[in-house]
Structure 1
Amino acid sequence: MKFIGIIPARFASTRFPGKPLADINGKPMIQRVYEQVKIALDDVVVATDDKRIEEAVKAFGGEVVMTSEKHQSGTDRIAEAIEKIEAESSENYQVIINIQGDEPFIQPEQILALKDCFKTASTQIATLIKPIENSDEIFDMNKVKVVVNKNLRALYFSRSPIPFFRGCDEKEWLDKHTYYKHIGMYAYRRDTLNEITKLPQSSLELAESLEQLRWLENEYVIKTDITKHESIGIDTPEDLERVKQLGLL
């Protein structure tokens, strides 16, 4: 099975313009992400709509493809990118891994875990989950919770605490049940990626503002794997300064 990692990267971020090019100890953020991903994947490409990002990627020796400015999501940008990549290279990829361009702490083990999900023939989409260790996160709407079945197939994603533990004080929920939060990395089979980008928005997606609910409503199989690594995205300049002060970069 042939895998490729694609990193969608936009310059025009509302909260952090030019984020992919933000300097992190002498390297742009997009390079930090790219180098981490290359540890686990032979084929990695940045998909962008901005010439400045294209030039930066080429400067450090990375692969890059230009895409439309009109895409509303990273998934749509990746779908265009893989069409161009395959047309130019004559390669055929079975699985595309969507790598967030603002996570320089991504761990190679996480990418390998996504790859392993496709050893199960029924897997159409794969993503990662992490056990919640802090009760406050259960009730934090910005932390997306996940429930899975016994085979780690996703049943539902929600900003609300799920499952609701009836008849028990909220402070005890974490002692009574293993809660999972979503780590927002995805991998898709090639044909599945083509299909999901053509789906209209669904009612559950609109209610929770979670794209993956559209896929579940349309009966796609989302396989999960458990990771011990936290997701540390950099959404604002303040986030970048904070991780620098913590000595994480």
Structure 2
Amino acid sequence: MSEVHIATDAEKVVEAVQSWGGKVWMTDKNCASGTERIVSILDNLDCDIIINVQGDQPLIEPALINQLIEIFEKTEPMPDIVTPACPIDNEKIFDPNLVKITRRHDGYALYFSRNPIPYVRDVKTENWPQTAPFLGHIGIYGYQRQVLETYHSLPKSPLEEAEKLEQLRFLQAGKSIFTFVTSNYPSSVDTAADLERVRAILS
């Protein structure tokens, strides 16, 4: 990875990053997603592949980022987007804050949803993890620059609006999203309880 840039709409974040000499960009408060925030500073980024580590993922391991970059370099043809997933247990299957993925046999995403997917018919919900492969999405993305450059020209996605998931704009527009499976699901910050748990880990 050649450079790290931080995009934010918070003055406190700007001040904190500047205090240690990092590269930080103040963006519009109306950006609807992390992807849109990156698109807004794209002219300041001199690279062909962009890795989006979102602020709700403070415990992402560097090895996972390196793995994502390696997949970009090795997969032919190069995917438009790459993102990781992890097997999840019964408790997480029904958590709307944890996004689920269904995939093709070759690893490309079929759909992302806050609902449990797949729906396992005629099986008690407590037995679903033993019956079907449930994967949780880990919210970091690798993009080809040219894909981000098309962002504002893509049609608005009713699926994106319904689920509030930025990747669905790309998926519904026919962009390829390659997913790979990792064994460790990092703690994300989606609720106040998550924030306290992560603060305890980092303290």
User: Which TM-score band (shorter chain)?
Assistant: 0.7 to 0.9
- Report if the CA contact (8 A) 1:153-1:223 is conserved: yes
Superposed, which structure 2 residues align to 1:31-110 within 5 Å?
41-86=1-46, 93-110=47-64
- Report if the CA contact (8 A) 2:108-2:179 is conserved: yes
The aligned counterpart of 2:107 is 152
- Equivalent position to 1:212, from 161, 164, 167: 167
Quote the Cα distance in structure 1 between the aligned partners of 2:93 and 2:146: 34
Report how many aligned residue pairs link the two structures.
201
Q: Deviations over 1:183-220 (max 9, x none)?
A: 11111100101112432321222222222222111110
Give the TM-score normalised by the residue count of structure 2: 0.87
What is the CA-CA distance between 1:125 and the residue it aligns to?
Answer: 0.6
- Report if the CA contact (8 A) 2:51-2:141 is conserved: yes
Q: Deviations over 1:49-74 (max 9, x none)?
A: 44443232121121223333442222
**Counterpart of 1:72 in 2: which secondary structure?**
coil
**Counterpart of 2:120 in 1: which secondary structure?**
coil
Q: Which runs of 4+ in 1 moved over 6 A?
A: none
Where do 5+ consecutive residues of structure 1 fail to align?
1-40, 87-92
User: Does residue 90 of structure 2 align to residue 130 of structure 1?
Assistant: no
What is the CA-CA distance between 1:235 and the residue it aligns to?
Answer: 4.8
What is the CA-CA distance between 1:150 and the residue it aligns to?
Answer: 1.5
Quote the Cα distance in structure 1 between the aligned partners of 2:97 and 2:176: 24
Quote the Cα distance in structure 1 between the aligned partners of 2:188 and 2:129: 25
- Report if the CA contact (8 A) 1:122-1:221 is conserved: no
Greater mean alpha carbon deviation, residues 51-60 or residues 177-186: 51-60
Quote the Cα distance in structure 1 between the aligned partners of 2:193 and 2:116: 28
Quote the Cα distance in structure 1 between the aligned partners of 2:93 and 2:126: 10
Q: Deviations over 1:148-176 (max 9, x none)?
A: 11111101111222112223222222112
**Counterpart of 2:41 in 1: which secondary structure?**
helix
How has the CA–CA distance of structure 1 residues 72 and 230 changed in structure 2, closer, same or farther, with 3 Å as cutoff?
A: same
Quote the Cα distance in structure 1 between the aligned partners of 2:114 and 2:12: 35
What is the CA-CA distance between 1:180 and the residue it aligns to?
Answer: 0.4
Q: Which AA in structure 2 matches 1:136?
A: E
Where do 5+ consecutive residues of structure 2 fail to align?
none
- Report if the CA contact (8 A) 1:65-1:85 is conserved: no
The aligned counterpart of 1:172 is 127
Quote the Cα distance in structure 1 between the aligned partners of 2:164 and 2:11: 30
Higher CA-based Rg: 1
The aligned counterpart of 2:70 is 116
Quote the Cα distance in structure 2 between the aligned partners of 1:145 and 1:235: 15
The aligned counterpart of 1:12 is none
RMSD: 2.1
Give the TM-score normalised by the residue count of structure 1: 0.73
What is the CA-CA distance between 1:139 and the residue it aligns to?
Answer: 2.3
Quote the Cα distance in structure 1 between the aligned partners of 2:98 and 2:12: 32
- Equivalent position to 1:240, from 187, 192, 195: 195
Quote the Cα distance in structure 2 between the aligned partners of 1:167 and 1:236: 32
**Counterpart of 2:170 in 1: which secondary structure?**
helix
The aligned counterpart of 1:23 is none
Q: Deviations over 1:13-53 (max 9, x none)?
A: xxxxxxxxxxxxxxxxxxxxxxxxxxxx3310112344443
- Report if the CA contact (8 A) 1:216-1:222 is conserved: yes
How has the CA–CA distance of structure 1 residues 51 and 109 changed in structure 2, closer, same or farther, with 3 Å as cutoff?
A: same
